[in-house]
Amino acid sequence: MAQGRLAGRTAIVTGGASGIGLASAELFADEGARVLIVDRDEATGAEALERVRRAGEAELLVADVAADGAAEAIVATAIARFGALHVLLSNAGVHGSGETPALRFDSSIPINLRAGYLIAEAALPHLQQGGGGAIIFTASVSGPAVGFASPHYDLAKAGLVGLTRSLASRWGRHAIRVNAICPGFIETPFIGPHWTQQRLDDVRHDIALGRLGQPEEIARVALFLASDDASYVTGAAIIADGGWTIHFDKY
C-alpha cells in the first residue's frame, strides 16, 4: 500500500522503460513522485509512460544518456517540466560487446559509468537548491564481487561503487545522499538474450533463496534509498542478490 513516501518530489529514472528502471519509476510514482522516465527506445518508452501514468504523474524523455550534452539536457527537462529535482536513479546500463578489448571497453564505460557521473554532476546544483536529495546508482554484484562477468562490465560496475563513495563523501554536507544498489540475477530483458537455460539453472542452484530476483524487489530498495527512510544512509553499496555472493567462490 502506497504511503506517499515521495510525495511532492521529482525523480529522474534513466533506463526507465523496462526492467528495474520501469519497476522503480512505477513505484516512485505510486509513492507520490513526479517521474521523468529517460530511455533511448521511443516505442518501449511510450509503453512505459502509459504504465507509470497509471500510478501517478510522469513524463518521458527519449535520449541516449551517453550522448554529449545528454546529462544537462535530461536535468534541464526535469526542471522545465516539474520545477525541481529531488531524486536521481541512474539506472541505464548495457553489457557491452565488441570484437576487441578496446571496442568492448568503449561500448560499456560511456553508458555504465561515465553517463552516471555526468548526470549526477548536472543534478548537483538543483539538488542543492532544493535543500538536498538522493542519488542512486544501479551497479551490480559485479561491483563488489568482480570476476563473474566480462572485465569491461566488472570494471564499469566497480567504478560505480567507487563513484558512489566518492560523491557521498563530497556532497554529504549538502544533504545529498549517494548510494548504489548491487543487484544479483534479476529477471529482466538484460539477462534474457544472453543466458542459456542451463546457465540459469546453475545460477539458481547457487542463489541461497533458490530463484532469480524480480525487478520490483530491486525497486523497493531504490524506494528506500530515495525516501526519508534512508535519511542516515550514504556511501553504501547495498547487495540485493538473494544470497548469491555467499557462494561466489564456486565461480
Which residues belong to the active site?
153
For residues 134 and 86, the answer to whether their CB atoms sit within 8 Å is yes
For residues 245 and 239, the answer to whether their CB atoms sit within 8 Å is yes
- Helix or strand holding residue 238 (H, E): strand 237-240
Residue of 179, 160, 163, 164 lying closest to 233 (CA atoms): 179
In the chain, which ranges are continuous DSSP H helix?
19-30, 42-55, 70-82, 101-109, 115-129, 151-171, 197-205, 215-226
For residues 203 and 176, the answer to whether their CB atoms sit within 8 Å is no
Residue of 45, 157, 48 lying closest to 96 (CA atoms): 157
* Phi and psi torsions of 204, nearest 5°: -55, -40
